[in-house]
Each structure stands twice: as C-alpha cells, then as structure tokens.
Structure 1
Amino acid sequence: MPKRLLIVAHAPSPNTLRLREAAEQGARHPEIEGVEVIVKPPLESGPEDVRNCDAILLGTTENLGYMSGALKDFFDRSYYEVLEQAQGLPCALYVRAGHDGTGTRRAVESITTGLRWRWAQEPLILRGEWQESFTEQVEELAMAMAAGLEAGVL
C-alpha cells in the first residue's frame, strides 16, 4: 500500500497557486513511485484527511503576521479530532511571506507542537518580493518529503 502525502496549501493568488502546483509537481516526481499525493485547499481539508495520511506539507500566506485564516480554520476543525491519532506525523511548512514570516512560523509551530507532529525539515519562509526561485524551493521541499516517505525515513 502506498504511503500518502497530504498537501494542504492556501493559494489565494496566481503566485501562491504556482507554489501549490510546484509542491504537487515535486511530490509527484517520476522517480518517486510509492507515494500517493493528495492536494487540497485548507477549507476542503479536515481531520479525515489527516488521519489518512502518512505525512503533511502545509502551505500558507503570511496574513498580518499570522497564518492564513483558511489554514487556521483547517487547524480549528481538525485539532481535537486528530490529537490522539496523529501524534508523530511528519510535517513541513512553506510560508509566502511579504514580510519576515516569523509570526506565521511561530503560530504554525505552536499548533503542530500541541499536536506532537514531527518536523521533517525546517519551515521554508519565502520572504519579500516574488522571486521565480520560490517555486523551485517549494518543489524541492515537496520532493524531499515524498522521497523521505517512500524511503521510510519520515
């Protein structure tokens, strides 16, 4: 049975949609065969999705120094539903930050610490003006998550 990587990413603009698509492309790399990739916006994701995955990649915009309302809603609906069943879930995060992303990172880390999720790698903060390299960085992050899941190291 293939491992499942859930990508929950808020994409309210063309550029953030490009980031979510880059995450999906990286996770679906042709050389990674043993991972099923599920991509959903936060408002369409919930506790059932979390319970049925083996790792999760979160993507959000920085909104007033915090995560997007949509990602916060995802956590609000899922937190207590998965608290006991999803401990140790490998996770990663990318933040499209117009400023420094610190508050957004801290907020997500606070919630994931409460859930006892395990960071697969440091959060990726995409700061400042849009750069084309952002899509490559997100693609690499997702590819590393999927490859780690396939190899059994996550």
Structure 2
Amino acid sequence: MMAETKTLLIVAHAPSTNTAALKDAVLRGAGHEEIDGVTARWIPPLEAGAADVRAADGIILGTTENLGYMSGALKDFFDRTYYRVIEEKEGLPYLLYIRAGLDGTGTKRAVTGICSGLRWNPVQDPTIFHGEWDDAFLGQAEELGQLMAAGLEAGIF
C-alpha cells in the first residue's frame, strides 16, 4: 500500500527577480529527487485562499520586508484566510523566510504573531535573508524547501 502524498503549500511574495529566485529555490528543494511523498505548489499570496490552506499538510511563507512589516500581499492572505482556517488547521507546520533590506525583526514579529494566533507550529526559527543580495541565499532557500518536504514525508511534522 502506497503512503498518502502530502501537500506542501508555498505562499511567497515574489515581486522582484531576487525574490522570485528565492521562491524558485524553495520549490526546487521541496521537489528534491529523493522526496517522493510530497507535492509542493507555489501560490502567490494574492491568489492563495482558505481552501489552499485547508488542503495543505505544511506551509512555507515567504515575504519581503516592507517598511519594517510583511508585504501587503502576505497581509492580505492572512486577512482573507485567518478566521476561515483557524479551527481546522491548528498545528499546521510552517516555515517562514523573509527577504529584508534591514534586519527583518518587525516582519518576523508580525508574521510569527499571526501564526501563533493560528496555533501553527514553527518547524524552525524564521530565516531572514538580510542586507545586500548574496547568491548564497539561494542555497539556503533550497535547504528550507527540502527540510520541510523531507520532514512532511517522514511524518516528523
């Protein structure tokens, strides 16, 4: 009997070439050749809805730091889905990454506060890609996708 395929939802704001590259790296990691039991899909925050969250076994959130806060697109996602998923998705494992020109602390506090209210479980501390662009960010983003997909497949979270 085959194990059930898990669904990893990636809701990441990717308005620039670099943030799109981060999102693509996360997807690449989640689709690693050794991970068979997880299907990863990216849905932009303005398109993702409560049904997408309900169908997910895990979620990776990605946002830019905008004026010391999350992107308006990710805030819109939370505004539209929060009360529609709060009861059903308690305990949902999540990862957060932030592309920050500054330090990302305000963004981290805002998103983790919302996720705490949803009673979602962080897989690890948020990853903040801060400062000037560094191509090493891509390897780190790929590792995030792989970590989450492998953990879901193994039933660790």
Structure 2 residue corresponding to 1:43, chosen from 24, 41, 46:
46
SS at match of 2:150: helix
Q: Show structure 1 runs of 4+ deviating over 3 A.
A: none
User: Which residue of structure 2 aligns with residue 84 of structure 1?
Assistant: 87
Structure 2 stretches of 5 or more lacking a match? Answer: none
User: Which residue of structure 1 aligns with residue 153 of structure 2?
Assistant: 150
Distance 2:52 2:148 in 1: 17
User: Which residue of structure 2 aligns with residue 128 of structure 1?
Assistant: 131
Deviation at 1:15, TM superposition (A): 0.4
Deviation at 1:38, TM superposition (A): 1.3
Q: Are 2:66 and 1:72 aligned? A: no
Query: TM-score when scaled to structure 1?
Result: 0.99
Name the count of aligned residue pairs: 154
Question: Identity percentage over the alignment?
Answer: 62
SS at match of 1:42: coil
RMSD, aligned α-carbons: 0.4
Distance 2:139 2:38 in 1: 20
Deviation at 1:57, TM superposition (A): 0.2
Structure 1 stretches of 5 or more lacking a match? Answer: none
Query: TM-score when scaled to structure 2?
Result: 0.97
User: Which residue of structure 2 aligns with residue 100 of structure 1?
Assistant: 103
